[in-house]
Amino acid sequence: MMTSVILLLGLGVGVLVGLLGIGGGVVLVPAMVYLLGMDQHLAQGTSLFILLPPVGVGALPEYWKQGQVDLRAGILCAVGILLGALGGSLVALPLPSRHLQGLFGCFLMLSAILLWRKAQPASKTSGDGGRAHG
């Protein structure tokens, strides 16, 4: 029972990975906290483990075919994230779980605002919305 919940959860998160070009951890962590009753630290560590294999590589060919990939920027970002992530984990590990969970919530709200903001000018100034209809 629990196993099938977990498998379905993975599938649902995966759709978001391909749709939005994200790793999925941002959804996986709260899902593991609330659906599976995990502690915040444990959920975050497990999320990092899930992201170890290239889970987004299945979605990438679709973007690649349409020329929607900046390879050089992508590689630079990978190196930056690798190093930054080590620093971030050193900050998070000593924090009490409760505060970490609260901070995570604030981070989600901030990301939501950033995602929303980009949406508005893009719909007016760039033509990429139209191309997506196919």
Partner 1 sequence: MADGADGADGADGMGRGVRVFLTACVCGIASGMFGIGGGVLLVPLLGLLFSFSQHRAQGTSLVALIPPTGVLALLAYARQGFVSWKTGLLLIPGVFLGGIVGGRLAEKLQPQRMRQVFAGILFALGTWQAFSAWWR
Considering only residues 48 through 87, tell me which ones interact with partner 1, judged by CB under 8 A: 48-64, 66, 68-87
CB 10 → partner 1: shortest distance, Å? Answer: 2
Count the site residues for partner 1 by CB under 8 A. 112
46, 32 in Cβ contact below 8 A? Answer: yes
CB 37 → partner 1: shortest distance, Å? Answer: 11
DSSP string, 100-119: HHHHHHHHHHHHHHHHHHHH
Is 35 a binding residue for partner 1 by CB under 8 A? The answer is: no
User: Cβ–Cβ contacts within 10 Å for residue 126, how many?
Assistant: 10
CB 52 → partner 1: shortest distance, Å? Answer: 5
Fill in the per-residue mask, 102 to 131: x = in contact with partner 1 (CB under 8 A), - = not in contact.
xxxxxxxxxxxxxxxxxx--xx--x-xx-x
Instruction: Please enumerate in sequence order all residues whose Cβ is within 8 A of that of 79, keeping only pairs 6 or more positions apart, or say none.
Output: none
CB 106 → partner 1: shortest distance, Å? Answer: 6
What whole-number distance in Å separates Cα of residue 125 and Cα of residue 22?
24
What whole-number distance in Å separates Cα of residue 117 and Cα of residue 97?
30
